[in-house]
Chain A
Amino acid sequence: MSASASPPARGARFLARRRRSYFYFIAPTLVVVGAVIIFPWLYTLWMSAFDWTIGSAAHYVGLGNYEKLFTNQRFGEAVLHTFYFTALAVAAPLLLGTAAAMIFHREFPFRGVLRGIFIMPMMATPVAVALVWTMMFHPQQGVLNYLLSLVGLPPSLWVYSPTVVIPSLVLVEVWHWTPLVMLIVLGGLAALPTEPYESARLDGASEWQLFRFITLPLVAPFIMVAAVIRTIDALKTFDTIYVITGGGPGTASETINLYLYLQAFAFYNIGTASAVVVVFFVIVLALALLLLHVREKTKWT
């Protein structure tokens, strides 16, 4: 390629000209992206440097809002609650959803109807779901404690107890979103080739070995996709928690989103809220990079 210098140079000029002419075509997109994504972002960053409560004057504090956040016990706890909630709300639907996909992948009577019923929770509105669960969680009149009493278990306080509130909330998420994981994994299973199974069976592999060494590695990329979607959903969960507990009892289920909502729309501390958004964004970005890294590793080779 180094032998003839002039044709590539002419080619590069041609490309440059073409690139220039294409620029006009992407300009509208750039404007839209700039207006609805980049500008709000820069503006949030800018506001996070001010101490501003609606109804009073704003003054510049530099990194002061961040300093206050990092020394604020309540915010620290909110970050921990977010991680705890997210970990449970990702792991449980993944396990159950994968198991459900394995079952629904097999042939049995009324499979289609049952699949349909299984994915119904996904169609419900989150706030409506949350309201129904609130009633079911009620310690005196809720159906959950009645069910526990039927099998001889002592009643639980569910979302009314600071210690079990987060697992209880995860229960709602599991009910609501396991079907989504099931659908994604089921799609993966349907696309699997049959040859590896035939040859493994010839070699005398057991059902467990078939699952562990063939099915699982082959559907891993699909599980990863489900994991990414679930992580994003779980991190941004707001409606379920807000409706059922409002972050309580006390602050026992207050996640970053709840804290952010309070700061912005209940206390009108716009500066603090902007700083929370920025910190939350950094956390989401870090998690996304981590997940992408893991996903690369599960790709078929």
Chain B
Amino acid sequence: MADHDRWGDPEIQRRRLLQAGLGAAALGAIPGAGQLAAYAQGPFDWKRFKGEKIEVFLVKSPRGDLLTKYHKEFEDMTGITVGSEMIPEQQQRQKAVIEFNSGNTSFDVIAISYHVQKRLFGKNKWLDDVRPMMADKSLADPNLDFADFAQGGLTYATQADGRIDSLPLNLDPWVVYYNKELFDAKGIAYPKNFAEMLDAAARINDPSKGVSGFVARGLKNANVPVWSSFLLGYGGAFTDAKGKLMTDTAEAVEAAKMYQTLLAKYGPQGVAGFNWNESQSLFLQGKAAMWLDGIGFAQPLEDPSKSRIVGKVGYGVMPAGPKQQVSALFGDGEGISTFSKKKGPSWFYLQWASNKANQTRMLQAAAGAPVRNSAYAAAQSSADFKAPKQWVECMLTSARIAQPGLPVIAPVTEFRDVFGIALTNMINGADPAAELKKATAEFQPVLDKSEKS
């Protein structure tokens, strides 16, 4: 644990003073914290940490692949060597928790998912606050242009106590993909509110032809954001200010009823076991009128080798609920491990990963929806940008009305599990009010315990 306190360690402080006196010759020998302080006066220079080596720990995804592909560019620009490890999301999260908990990490930079890890990482202060480095003119790239980051993304990356312990890279608001052909056949317009959504699903649903009015995740755990999409529209919330669950209120029950009706009545057979991939394949076949999920699926839907509905897909902003119009938001970014000894080079990596070029690439490759506003204009003006115009508009509108799609608490996975089971049970006929009451009673002690310790 000694590394944890290195800023406050008198020995380190003494060494830093020494370093400052010794001048440039001694600097290369002492990496990390000392170096940062010693360099504090110079102008910004990408080559400052030349010769250093950092380890980044990414999630195996189109976004991780994309960054890894361009690591060479970062290495050439800075002279910093990047070692990267990329493993599937679930394993990455497990490994991260175990490493942070052991008080030492093998990586300097880590990719995090705000919807799952924000509170856990924030509570334990596992990532460094980047604000001091951002304010430091010798460390922040003058082209960083922080104002370019979408407000929703910045809010998502900011902890409750004001710390910003990561830079957001990708926003994933939930949207409704709809089959224009099925809508046109019935002469129905895209729904503007929940009532119209139910109505459209009912009118298009036709089991005899194998056409479902609506499809979304029914599989436990994965299904919770579908319900929260409705919950937020009904004006509900996950918890109140004191950390008491609000998941059995009238709004929550209404949202659950909406979920139950759409999936059990107008959804496909077996939807209780559907994750996004089963939902996607049904929608791709033209067998579902609406599909509610994250925004990142435009690429397969517009790919003629996979999709039977190329050119017929509409990208709709989540319809308005009785109280408000909200899109449930997911997102991810990157932060610096507090146990890292290479804070400076890691901060450079963060700035590079979130720069305009990389954000534009992300959009062009349809690997995600960038946080930088400028990326949309840049990508659209490029010749090989294939995503439909409506998708871009849908993304921008959704990002403006987005709110976190999962509660910002430490035991998110357990929350999703407990409420996911309740929702799956509803698809199979259970009573929404009773299920939510049971789930709330079961989860409240877990939440209390996690906030107490």
Q: Is the interface of A mostly helix, strand, loop or mixed?
A: loop
CA–CA, A268 and B446, complex, Å: 12
Query: In the complex, how many angstroms separate the beta carbon of B378 from the nearest chain A beta carbon?
Result: 39
Is the C-beta of B380 less than 8 angstroms from some C-beta in chain A? no
Produce 1/0 per residue, B151-181, CB < 8 A to A.
0000000000000000000000000000000
Chain B residues contacting A139 (CB-CB under 8 Å) are 268-270
Cβ of A215 under 8 Å from chain B: no
Q: A142: nearest residue on chain B (CB-CB)?
A: B270
A160 touches B417 (CB 8 A): no
* B219 proximal to A (CB < 8 A): yes
Closest to B123 in A: A55
Please, which residue of chain B has its CB at the minimum distance from the CB of A270?
B101
Flag if A248 contacts B273 (CB, 8 Å). yes
Docked complex: A41-81 residues within 8 A CB-CB of B:
53-57
Q: Specify which of A159, A262, A265 is in contact with B417 (CB 8 Å cutoff).
A: A262
Contacts of A138 on B, CB cut-off 8 Å? Answer: 270, 278
Determine whether the beta carbon of A140 is less than 8 Å from that of B424. Answer: no
* A54-B101, A266-B413, A267-B417 known; A250-B272 Cβ under 8 A: yes
List chain A residues, Cβ under 8 A from B278.
138
- In chain A, positions 113-166 with a C-beta closer than 8 Å to chain B are 138-141, 155, 157-162
Given A54-B101, A266-B414, A267-B414, A160 and B123 touching (CB < 8 A)? no
Instruction: Say if the beta carbon of B287 comes within 8 Å of chain A.
Output: yes
| Closest A residue to B98 using CB positions | A54
Q: Which residues of B contact A54 (CB under 8 A)?
A: 97-98, 101
What's the least CB distance linking A43 to chain B, in Å?
16
Of chain B, the residue at the smallest CB distance from A268 is B97
Most chain A CB neighbours (cut-off 10 Å) among B210, B218, B453 = B453
Residue B421 is within 8 A (CB to CB) of chain A in the complex:
yes
Contact flag A251-B269 (CB < 8 Å), given A53-B449, A55-B120: no
Smallest CB separation, A238 vs chain B (Å): 15
Contact A248 B220 (CB under 8 A): yes
> B453 to chain A: which residues have CB within 8 Å?
53, 56-57
Chain B residues positioned under 8 Å from A57 (CB to CB):
453
Q: Which one of B120, B270, B428 has the greatest number of beta carbons of chain A within 10 Å?
A: B270
> Of A160, A251, A265, which is within 8 A of B270 by CB?
A160
Residues of B within 8 A of A196 (CB): none
> Are A140 and B273 closer than 8 Å at their CB atoms?
no
* A246 CB within 8 Å of chain B: yes
Residues of B within 8 Å of A162, CB to CB, are 272, 428
Q: Shortest distance in angstroms between A168's beta carbon and chain B's nearest beta carbon? A: 11
**Residues of B within 8 A of A (CB-CB), count:** 38
Contacts of A55 in B (CB 8 A): 97, 100-101, 120, 123-124, 410
Interface membership of A112, Cβ < 8 A: no
User: Which residues of chain A come closer than 8 Å to B421, judged between CB atoms?
Assistant: 250-251
How many angstroms between the C-alpha atoms of A265 and B218 in the bound complex?
22
Q: Mark A243-273, 1 if CB is under 8 A from B, else 0.
A: 0011111110000000000100111100000
User: In the complex the two chains form, what is the Cα distance from A3 to B328 in whole Å?
Assistant: 92
The residue of chain B having its C-beta at the shortest distance from the C-beta of A160 within the complex is B270
Chain A residues with Cβ below 8 Å from B261 are: none
A56–B120 alpha-carbon span in the complex (Å): 10
A243 to B: closest C-beta gap in Å: 12
A-side contacts of B210, CB under 8 Å: 140
In the bound assembly, the distance between CA atoms of A296 and B219 in angstroms comes to: 46
User: CA of A108 to CA of B99 in the docked complex: distance in angstroms?
Assistant: 60
Give the residue name and chain of the B residue nearest to A163 (CB). Answer: B428
Distance in angstroms between the alpha carbons of A262 and B417 in the assembled complex? 9
How far is B223's CA from A283's CA once the two chains are assembled, in angstroms? Answer: 33
- Cβ < 8 Å to A, chain B residues 280-330: 281-282, 285, 287
Q: B390 in the interface, Cβ–Cβ < 8 Å?
A: no
Q: A56-B453, A140-B268 are in contact. Are A249 and B282 (CB under 8 A)?
A: no
Q: Which of B97, B124, B270 contacts A161 (CB 8 A)?
A: B270
Alpha-carbon distance between A159 and B275 when the two chains are bound, in angstroms: 13
C-beta contact mask, B409-423 vs A, less than 8 Å → 1, else 0?
011011001000100
The reply to whether A265 and B120 contact each other, CB–CB distance below 8 Å, is no
Give the distance to chain B from A157, nearest Cβ to Cβ, in Å.
5
Residues on the B chain within 8 Å of A155, using CB = 269
Q: For residue A140, which residues in chain B have a CB less than 8 angstroms away from its CB?
A: 210, 268-270, 282, 287
The verdict on B84 contacting chain A, using a C-beta distance below 8 Å, is: no
CB distance from B432 to the nearest CB of A (A): 14
Which B residue's beta carbon lies closest to that of A254? B421
Complex contact B450–A160 (CB within 8 A): no
Q: A56-B450, A266-B417 are in contact. Are A250 and B425 (CB under 8 A)?
A: yes
Q: Say yes or no: is B94 at the interface (Cβ < 8 Å to chain A).
A: yes
Measured CB to CB, the closest approach of chain B to A195, in angstroms, equals 56
15 A-B pairs besides A247-B220, A268-B97 with CB distance below 8 A are A53-B411, A53-B453, A55-B120, A55-B410, A140-B270, A160-B272, A160-B273, A161-B272, A248-B219, A248-B424, A249-B220, A250-B220, A250-B424, A250-B428, A266-B417
Give residues in A with beta carbon < 8 Å to B. 53-57, 138-141, 155, 157-162, 245-251, 262, 265-268
A-B interface, 7 closest residue pairs, ranked by CB to CB distance from nearest? A160-B270, A56-B453, A139-B270, A160-B273, A249-B272, A250-B424, A267-B414
A-B contact pairs, 30 of them (CB 8 A): A53-B449, A53-B450, A54-B97, A55-B101, A55-B120, A55-B123, A55-B124, A57-B453, A138-B278, A139-B268, A139-B269, A140-B268, A140-B270, A140-B287, A141-B285, A155-B269, A158-B270, A162-B428, A245-B273, A246-B221, A248-B219, A248-B272, A249-B218, A249-B272, A250-B220, A250-B421, A251-B421, A265-B94, A267-B417, A268-B97
Spell out B's residues near A (CB within 8 Å). Answer: 94, 97-98, 100-101, 120, 123-124, 210, 218-221, 268-274, 278, 281-282, 285, 287, 410-411, 413-414, 417, 421, 424-425, 427-428, 449-450, 453
